């Protein structure tokens, strides 16, 4: 994945570093040239002094060298190049030329050569000096420039980095805002503080959010229409079947057939309700925003339907409810409670028991349903949360109940734990974050 930050830094820092290197080379040259001219001027002055003594007929002598100073040599030759005085190993002279480089006794030197008129005719005078001080000065210049260029480069890198980071801050703010949104928050991104350069991108993204919102709205409308269109005729069919069974109560064969039809109709009603609940859970929270509620009170309101069902199967349905404040969608949480309790009643045997409990424990709210059914093998516990997965064919059901529970729990930031009950059977625990009192 490419990075805008890295691309900007590459195109900004690359030229800056190149320009710094070029400027450093130019500054080094400009700083060294005057030093070179100053050293050559000092050597020229020494040569002129010796030439004045030689023209006056005196024997030229170099002045005493200062401690740690460069070593110097001189030579006097006649017009034919014969040695008259000074260092015999002095290199060839080029009178009238600019200072030039040579070697004396294997050491690099700088040489100034002059032609001097004396009473005895023309003489050639040469003065040479080692390059030690020059090299030390040049090294000092290079070291100073390295430090200076490094500081300037680091400063520029920091400025560029801060500038790029500040320029990309609107993108980071938009990313953080989108990351903080919930799964059902499709509100458009505010464009008031969006920079001009990314305004078209934000506008296009807002158009996409509008389309997604329209699709979600259409899906909600479809679910509402389907709920009405399917539930109403199925409920009417159930009433007609009950009426027919009452009319033909003396005909065993008719009663048996009508009972089978009623059972099939009940399964159809349950499957339709579960499919609608699963669609709502997968969509997030389409039916409303999460709001503060007491899970214990919601369970009390929801559980009444199952009391009669438990009595028919001779199942001991018990409750252990304590205040359990959570943030959630009451409609979806009712679906969660319905599916867990219904599953427990279906798998608990006649004469068995089902216990429903909820309470706050620390910073969490635990909703738990336990039953005395056959239990779920540990190897199958992960699979039962998938759609249309059933442990056996002896118990009626569509295999959607725990899938609905899982999706509703995810929409509420909760987790579902499945293990065995203390006396056998199954225990399902949904762990919610407790609502903080305000």
Residues 231 and 329 in one domain: no
335: Cβ contacts below 8 Å, ≥ 6 apart: 277, 280, 281, 404, 408
- Residue 328 corresponds to which tokens in the numbers above? 């959630």
pLDDT at 269 over 90: no
Lowest mean pLDDT among 282-291, 332-341, 357-366: 282-291
Q: Is residue 10 part of a domain?
A: yes
**By residue range, what is the domain housing residue 57?**
4-152
pLDDT at 313 over 80: yes
* pLDDT at site 384: 72
pLDDT at 286 over 50: no
Looking at 168-294, list the stretches that DSSP marks H as alpha helix, in order from N- to C-terminal side.
169-179, 199-247, 252-283
- How many folded domains does the chain comprise? 3
* pLDDT at site 60: 79
pLDDT mean over 32-60 = 88
Going 343 to 344 to 345 to 346, the CA torsion angle's sign is: positive
* pLDDT at site 109: 92
pLDDT mean over 321-341 = 87
Q: Do the Cβ atoms of 416 and 405 come closer than 8 Å? A: yes
pLDDT at 395 over 80: no
Domain boundary among 283, 316, 342: 283
Where is pLDDT greater, at 401 or 388? 401
The confidence band for 287, taking pLDDT boundaries of 50, 70 and 90, is very low
Residues 54 and 141 in one domain: yes
CATH code of the domain in which 120 resides: 3.30.450
48: Cβ contacts below 8 Å, ≥ 6 apart: 114
Where is pLDDT greater, at 25 or 331? 25
* pLDDT at site 227: 62
- Residue 130 corresponds to which tokens in the numbers above? 């080692």
Residues 319 and 428 in one domain: yes
Average confidence score pLDDT of the chain: 82
Could you give the angle at the alpha carbon of 343 between the alpha carbons of 341 and 349, nearest 5°?
100
What pTM did the predictor assign?
A: 0.46
205: Cβ contacts below 8 Å, ≥ 6 apart: 189
pLDDT at 322 over 60: yes
Residues 18 and 139 in one domain: yes
pLDDT mean over 152-177 = 86
């Amino acid at each position: 994945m490419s990075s805008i930050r890295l691309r900007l830094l590459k195109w900004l820092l690359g030229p800056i570093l190149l320009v710094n290197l070029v400027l450093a080379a130019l500054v080094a040259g400009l700083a060294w040239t005057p030093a070179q001219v100053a050293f050559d001027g000092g050597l020229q002055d020494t040569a002129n002094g010796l030439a004045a003594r030689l023209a006056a007929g005196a024997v030229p002598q170099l002045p005493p060298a200062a401690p740690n100073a460069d070593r110097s040599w001189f030579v006097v030759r006649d017009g034919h190049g014969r040695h008259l005085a000074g260092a015999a190993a002095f290199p060839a002279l080029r009178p009238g030329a600019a200072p030039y480089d040579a070697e004396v006794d294997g050491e690099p030197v700088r040489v100034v050569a002059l032609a001097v008129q004396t009473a005895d005719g023309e003489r050639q005078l040469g003065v040479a000096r080692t390059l030690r001080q020059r090299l030390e000065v040049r090294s000092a210049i290079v070291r100073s420039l390295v430090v200076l260029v490094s500081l300037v480069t680091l400063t520029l890198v920091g400025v560029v980095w801060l500038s790029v980071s500040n320029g990309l801050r609107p993108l980071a703010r938009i990313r953080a805002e989108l990351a903080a949104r919930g799964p059902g928050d499709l509100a458009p991104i505010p464009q008031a503080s969006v920079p001009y350069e990314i305004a078209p991108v934000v506008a296009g993204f807002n158009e996409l959010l509008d389309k997604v919102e329209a699709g979600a709205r259409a899906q909600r409308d479809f679910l509402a229409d389907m709920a009405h269109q399917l539930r109403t005729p199925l409920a009417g069919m159930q009433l007609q079947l009950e009426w027919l069974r009452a009319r033909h109560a003396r005909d065993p064969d008719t009663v048996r057939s009508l009972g089978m039809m009623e059972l099939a109709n009940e399964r159809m009603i349950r499957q339709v309700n579960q499919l609608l609940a699963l669609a709502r859970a997968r969509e997030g929270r389409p039916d409303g925003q999460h709001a503060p509620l007491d899970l214990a009170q919601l369970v009390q309101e929801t559980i009444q339907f199952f009391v009669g069902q438990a009595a028919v199967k001779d199942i001991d349905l018990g409750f252990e409810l304590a205040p359990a404040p959570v943030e959630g969608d009451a409609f979806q949480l009712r679906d969660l409670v319905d599916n867990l309790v219904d599953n427990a009643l279906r798998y608990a045997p006649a004469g068995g028991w089902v216990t429903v409990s909820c309470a706050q424990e620390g910073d969490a709210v635990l909703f738990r349903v336990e039953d005395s059914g056959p239990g779920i093998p540990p190897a199958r516990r992960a699979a039962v949360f998938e759609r249309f997965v059933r442990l056996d064919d002896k118990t009626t059901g569509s295999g959607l109940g725990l899938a609905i529970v899982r999706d509703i729990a995810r929409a509420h930031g909760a987790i579902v734990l499945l293990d065995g009950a203390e006396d056998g059977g199954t225990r399902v625990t949904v762990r919610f974050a407790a609502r903080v009192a305000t």
